[in-house]
Amino acid sequence: MKNRKILLSCGSNKGGEFLAWKESKVYDPEVLIYAFEPEPRCFPHLKNVMSQVPNITHIKKAISTEDGTQSWNVGKLTVSGTLREDKNWGLTGEKILIETIDFCKWLQENIEEDDYVMITLDIEGSEYEVLQKMFETGAMKYINKMYVEFHGNKMYNKQTSENIEAELKEKLLKTFGEECYFRFVEGNFKMFKQAHPDLDPNMFNNIGTIG
C-alpha cells in the first residue's frame, strides 16, 4: 500500500490546473500538492487558488537540474517565462534573476518510494534536461503518473529538440505505459478543448486513455 499521495506541479503558472484537479474524476482532497512556480506575477493568482484548493505548498523556485540562481526570460503573451536561452517564442526580452531547484535532488530528499506521486511538467523547454537527469540519476523511480508538455516547437533548433523529445517519449512510455500523458498541461477547459477536441476538457480525466 502506498504511503502519501502527492501531486508535484512543475511550472504551476497561475494555478489553473489545481482548480481542474479539484473538479476532476480523480480528485482526492487528501493529496499533498507542491506548486513549483518562480514567476512573481503568478504569485497573487496562486495565493487565490490556494484559498480554494486544500494542501497546496508553493515553492517559489524554478525546476532545474541544479540548485542556485539563474536568469529568467520573462514571457510576453502569457504570465510565464523560461530558463532556456534558445526559446524563441513569446518573450519580452526582459530578464530577472530567480532561484532554481535541483529537482532530482529534491525528489531524493523529500519523496519516499512508497509514496504515490503524480507530476505535471510544464516548464517551457527545461523539461528536456530535467527528464534526462531524472532517468540518469534514477529519480524517475519516485514518479507513478506523468503529465508532460513538450515545447520543442518553440525552440530555435526544432530538429534537435524533436530528436531528444522522441527519445524521451519512448523512455517515458516504456516506464509508465498508460500512466503517461503528452499533451497540454492546461487547467483552462475551453483552451484545452480547442487544442484537443477529441479529449475530455479536464486534462486529469484523460490519463490512461492516450499515449
Helix (H, G, I), strand (E, B) or coil at 35: strand
pTM for this structure? 0.90
Residue of higher predicted confidence among 189 and 154: 189
Instruction: Report, as an integer, the average pLDDT of 188-195.
Output: 90
pLDDT for residue 24? 95
pLDDT at 56 over 80: yes
Instruction: Report, as an integer, the average pLDDT of 113-141.
Output: 94
What is the average pLDDT value for the chain, to the nearest integer? 89
